[in-house]
Amino acid sequence: MEHISNMNKKKPDALIWPVNLFKSVVNKAPDWPDSISGLAYNPFRPGQSPYNHIYPTREQIKEDLLLIRPLTRHVRTYSVEQTLACIPEIAEELGMSVTLGIWIGWDGKRNDRELIEGVKLANQYPSVRRLIIGNEALLRNDVTVSQLIDYIQTARRSVNVPVSTSEGWQQWHDTPKLADHVEFIAAHVLPFREFVPVTQAGSAVLARANELRLMFPEKPLILSEIGWPDKGNFRRRTIAYNAEQSIYLRSQLALLNQSGLDYFVREAFDQQWKTEEGLPGPHWGLFDAQRKIKSPLQGPVKIRASWRSEVPRLIADWQPDNWRTTVLVFAALYALLLGVGISYAQSLSMWVALPIVLAWATSLLIGTGIQGYEFLESCWGPEEPRSFPPLRAYAGPLPKVSIHVPCYNEPPDMVKLTLDALQRLDYPSFEVLIIDNNTQDPEVWKPIEQYCRQLGPRFRFFHVNPLREAL
C-alpha cells in the first residue's frame, strides 16, 4: 500500500521540490464499510446557523436523514433548539436512532430550556437511545465540573436512557471524577488537532481508546467524535485535502469496526458557520454544504500535490538549523545591501553616504522581513483565529439599556419591522425610545405611535415638532 509522503520528514534534497508539483500518489485505502456506527449530525445549510437563529426546516432535516440512512442508522445531535427538536421524531419515522445532544453553554437560562426539552424528547420518542449533556462545555470553560455534574444528575433522574457528557479524551483524563456521574464515556479523539500525521492517525485513535478503557473499565466507551477535515494548514504539518480525509476515514473505520468500538464520524455535512474553529472548522463533513459527497467511498484514492503544500515544505527544508546560522544569513544579506547602496552613492561623500545607506539597508531588510512574514502567515499561519468570546453573564442584575430610534418621514411599515426586531432582543432590562423629528404628516407618524402602544411599556413614542438643531 502506498501512502501520502511523510509530512514531518525533510526531503533529502530541497531542490527536487518542483517535481512534486506534478506528482500524483495513488493510495489503496480500504473501501467504505457497508455500515458505520454513527454520524454526528448538524443540519445547518448555507445561510443558516445558531448564531443568526436561522434553522433548517423539517423537510430539510428529513432530506438529510434520507441521505445519511444508507451509510448509518444512527446519528448524534448537539442541541434541541427550535427545529432541531424535530430530529428524534423524523428519525423514528425513518427507522433511525438518535444519541440526543443537549447544548450546555455559559447561558444558564438556555441550558435549563435545553435540558427540559431534551428530557421531554427522550421520554417521548423511543428513537432516542442515549442522552449527551453538553459538548466540550468544560473545554470551553462555559461551566464548572460541579455545574455540569448537576445537569447530568438532573437528566439521569428524569429519563430511562443512558446519560453522559461529551468531552475530548484529555478532559476525561484530567477530570476522572466526572466518570463517577455518567453511564458511559463519550470522548472525542481527533488526531488532526494533535498534529498527528494522517498516516499515523488511525493507530493514535486506537491508542487513546485503549487508555480510556484502562482508566474506566466499568464504563462503556463511545468515541463521540472521530474525523479529519479536508482543509487545514502547514503550521500543523497536516495540510488536508479531500484525499487525506478519504484515506483517514476509510482506514480508520476499518480499524474501528474490527475493534468493535462504537463511534460517531464528525460529521455528516460541512458547517459553514463554524468559522471560530479556524480554517478546518467548516470542513469536517463527509458531504459538502450542498449535500454532495466529497470523496470516493470505494476504489483507489488519487492524491495530487500542489504548490500550497510544496512551497512551505521548501521553506522548512531551507530553514537554518540554529540561531548562529540565522544571524550569519541576515548579516550576509545586510552586507549585500550595504554594498549595493554604497555603489549607487559614490557621488556623495562617505560621511553623508554611509548613514543614508545604513538606514536604507536596515529599513529595507526589516520591511521585507515583516511583509514576507505576514504573507506566509496569511497563507500558512495559525489554525485558530483571534477569539472574541461573548461577555459572560453577570452574577447580579443587568444594567438597564436605553435604545433611541430617531426617525423623520420614515415609512411606517419599515419602522414597525425595526421595532419588531428590537422586541425580540434577549435582554431582561431595556427600553426603546422612538423620537419622531419634525414629521409633518400625521398619516406617517400616527401609525408608529399606535404601534408602540401595542408593543407595551418598553416602547415609548415622542413626536417633536418643531425640533431645532442644537448649536
216-249 pLDDT per residue, tens: 999 999 999 999 998 875 444 445 567 888 889 9
Phi then psi for 349, rounded to 5 degrees? -70, 155
Per-residue confidence at 389, pLDDT binned at 50, 70, 90? low
pLDDT score of 204 more than 60: yes
Average pLDDT for 118-142? 97
List the domain boundaries for the chain.
29-299, 320-380, 401-464
Q: Residue 7: which pLDDT band, with cuts at 50, 70 and 90?
A: very low
CB atoms within 10 A of CB 383: 17
CATH of domain 29-299: 3.20.20.80
Q: What is the pLDDT of residue 374?
A: 80
Going by pLDDT thresholds of 50, 70 and 90, the confidence category of residue 89 is: very high
Share above pLDDT 70 across residues of the chain, in percent, rounded to a whole number:
83
Report how far residue 433's alpha carbon sits from residue 439's, in angstroms, rounded to the nearest whole number.
16
What's the one-letter identity of residue 391? L
Residue 11: pLDDT above 60?
no
Q: Compute the distance between CA of residue 276 and CA of residue 390 in angstroms, rounded to an integer.
A: 12
What confidence score (pLDDT) does residue 237 get?
Answer: 45
Please give the pLDDT value at position 24: 52
How much is the pLDDT for 342? 82
Q: Over the stretch 309-348, which tens digit does the pLDDT of each residue have? A: 566 666 666 666 777 877 888 888 888 888 888 888 777 7
* DSSP state letter for 293: B
Residues belonging to the chain: 471
* Window from 42-51, 257-266, 304-313 with minimum mean pLDDT: 304-313
Confidence band for 165, pLDDT divided at 50, 70 and 90? very high
pLDDT of residue 234: 41
**pLDDT at residue 366 is higher than 60:** yes
The pLDDT of 38-47, averaged and rounded, is 96
Assess whether pLDDT exceeds 60 at residue 23. no
Separation of alpha carbons 157 and 163, rounded Å: 10
Residue 84 has pLDDT above 50, yes or no: yes
Nearest-5° Cα angle at 295, 289 to 297: 125
Q: What is the mean pLDDT of residues 427-450?
A: 91
Highest mean pLDDT, choosing among 23-27, 178-182, 353-357 = 178-182
Identify which of 313, 300, 357 has the alpha carbon closest to the alpha carbon of residue 334: 357
- pLDDT tens track for 353-365: 888 888 988 998 8
The model's pTM is 0.66
pLDDT score of 103 more than 50: yes
The mean pLDDT value for 293-307 works out to: 75
Angle at 234 between CA 228 and CA 240, to 5 degrees: 25
Whether the per-residue pLDDT at 349 is higher than 70: the answer is yes
Q: How are beta strands 301-304 and 39-40 bridged, if at all?
A: unpaired
Determine the pLDDT at residue 391.
Answer: 54
Split at pLDDT 50, 70, 90, the class of 375 is: confident
89: preceding bond cis by omega (within 30 degrees): no
Rounded Cα distance between 143 and 167, Å, is 13
